[in-house]
Amino acid sequence: MLTLITGGGGFIGSHLATYLFDETEDDILLLDDFSTGNPENVSHLIDHDRVELIQGDVIETGTIEPLVERSDRVFHLAAAVGVQRIVDEPLRSMRTNLVGTENVLEAAVDDRTPVFIASSSELYGKSEDVPFAESDDRVLGPTSSLRWSYASAKAIDESLALAYHRDHDLPVAIGRYFNIVGPRQTGQYGMVIPRFVEQALANEPLTVYGDGTQTRSFTHVADAVRATYELLTTPEAHGEVINIGAPDPTSINALAERIIELTGSDSDITHIPYEEAYNENFEEPQQREPDVSKLEATLGWYPSTDLDRILLDIIEEREQAVVPE
């Protein structure tokens, strides 16, 4: 069995690669252009003869087609991620998300190669009807706010995948990720937990965007990659859209306070208006909480790693990365 992971050098992709290496006998093919991924994320794997790492871009058909043709299944995780990156590079982000997904699906048709499509809770937009179920209506802001371009692109990705499933009987499973966090995640593109942890360990102010009352549900990456693998290998999940998340929301203010407590930091908390952090047209959803009943019904479980365990794993990693003077 040869498994392809696009975005295999990224945060989630590298953890999925480790999961496959440890839990299966698959040979693993990793594709990444390293625009946001890092070869160091898979440095513990690439010397093994079961793992091959290729630098390339999913929007190039000449790159992706032969890789999909070689593979027995595909986990398509390559995407432009992070709010900051979407705002800074909207055109590149949309092309990566839209063209890359269509290329993967089209390449998989001839052999009906099973494909997992990574989607996002961003699709729910600024709906206040929590917890979010997969069949819920979406509420997005105007197109003039580029913040919503990622949600729109991911919605089209899902529609493409479902159309390929219907028209070509292609086995596809779609997972909507809710704030996946854990070791190896960078705060460079707006990811809040690694950014807070790094600030706390440096005794710098933790910068909260907005008033901090907005809530998020954080999911340990170990739970996310297990669910990702099981959804693609569960036939009942094919042709379905399923939330992947933990149903325990916390406010960003409470998150900052807990990180300060766990790190023993002397940091304070400062609040920065969204328009100062991003731009004057920026909008941020107030709530993000998944309905996981469909995931539980499909797999028999749902992510339940508690927030403290998630935070301690990230804190430990960052502490070990500090080089003594």
Question: What are the structural domain ranges in the chain?
Answer: 2-181+218-247+288-304
- Asked if residues 192 and 125 have their Cβ atoms less than 8 Å apart, the reply is no
Q: Is the pLDDT at 285 greater than 50, yes or no?
A: yes
Classify burial at 166, counting beta carbons within 10 Å of its beta carbon; exposed 0-12, middle 13-18, buried 19 or more: exposed
Q: Is the pLDDT at 189 greater than 60, yes or no?
A: no
Please give the positions annotated as active site. 150
Q: CATH: 3.40.50.2300, 2.40.40.20, 3.30.460.80, 3.40.50.720. Which one for 2-181+218-247+288-304?
A: 3.40.50.720
Write down the H helix ranges in the chain: 11-23, 61-70, 83-88, 90-108, 149-168, 192-201, 221-232, 252-263, 274-277, 293-299, 307-321
Question: Cα(39)–Cα(32) distance, rounded to whole angstroms?
Answer: 9
Q: How high is the pLDDT of residue 322?
A: 60
Q: Is the pLDDT at 280 greater than 80, yes or no?
A: no
For residue 209, what are the β-bridge partners? Answer: 272
pLDDT band at 41 (very low <50, low <70, confident <90, very high): very high
Q: How high is the pLDDT of residue 325?
A: 43
Query: Distance of CA 104 to CAs 204, 288, 294, Å?
Result: 43, 29, 26
Query: Distance of CA 172 to CAs 74, 105, 133, 272, Å?
Result: 9, 9, 19, 41
Query: What is the mean pLDDT of the segment spanning 184-196?
Result: 82
The count of C-alpha atoms lying within 13 angstroms of the C-alpha of 214, restricted to the half-sphere facing its C-beta, is: 19
Is pTM beyond 0.85? Reply is yes
- The structure tokens listed for 286 are 């107030």
Q: Is the pLDDT at 268 greater than 50, yes or no?
A: yes
Q: How high is the pLDDT of residue 235?
A: 98
Neighbours of 319 (CB within 10 A): 11
pLDDT band at 148 (very low <50, low <70, confident <90, very high): confident
